[in-house]
Amino acid sequence: MVWLKSDMSRHILEELELGLGSGGRIRILFTLADKPEKAYTKYALEQITGLKAVEVRRQLKILTQLGWVKVASREPEIYQLNLENKTVKDLLQFLKRVKIP
* pLDDT level of residue 78 (50, 70, 90 thresholds): very high
Rounded Cα gap, residues 40 and 71, in angstroms: 9
Q: Give the count of beta carbons closer than 10 Å to the beta carbon of residue 20.
A: 13
pTM for the structure as a whole:
0.81
Kindly state the average pLDDT of the residues 69-74: 92
The pLDDT value recorded for residue 86 is 92
Residue 10 structural domain: 2-97
| Number of domains making up the chain | 1
Rounded Cα gap, residues 76 and 100, in angstroms: 29
CATH code for position 62: 1.10.10.10
Alpha-carbon dihedral sign for residues 66, 77, 93, 58: positive
How confident is the model over 36-66, as pLDDT tens digits? 999 999 999 999 999 999 999 999 999 999 9
